[in-house]
Amino acid sequence: MDTPAPTLCFTCGLAVEETPRLNRLTNGEICPACRDRVLDMLPAPLPSRPGEVRAGTMGLASDAPLKS
Ligand SMILES: [Zn+2]
């Protein structure tokens, strides 16, 4: 499931950490695959992360007045 084994970038062969960083190829150029990974990790304007539940919205429903 969550194996601690490091993930290796298939382009530059360097380890990809949980927080991606710009790895460099042997010729000094920034690895494009790692660069894309870093760009993907940048804060997105849309809440697209699964499992990230917003706290605070739960109480709204219970505040609604129930009239019978
Ligand atoms: Zn890479």
Distance 47 CA to ligand 1 centre (A): 26
Distance 2 CA to ligand 1 centre (A): 21
Distance 21 CA to ligand 1 centre (A): 9
Q: What is the pTM of this model?
A: 0.53
| Chain segment 31-41, per-residue pLDDT in tens | 999 999 898 88
| Chain segment 46-62, per-residue pLDDT in tens | 665 666 556 555 555 55
E-strand ranges in the chain read: 7-8, 15-16
Distance 28 CA to ligand 1 centre (A): 12
List C-alpha distances in Å: 18 to 4, 30, 34, 47, 66: 10, 18, 12, 19, 47
Looking at residue 1, what DSSP letter applies? Answer: -
Distance 35 CA to ligand 1 centre (A): 7
| Domain layout of the chain by residue ranges | 17-43
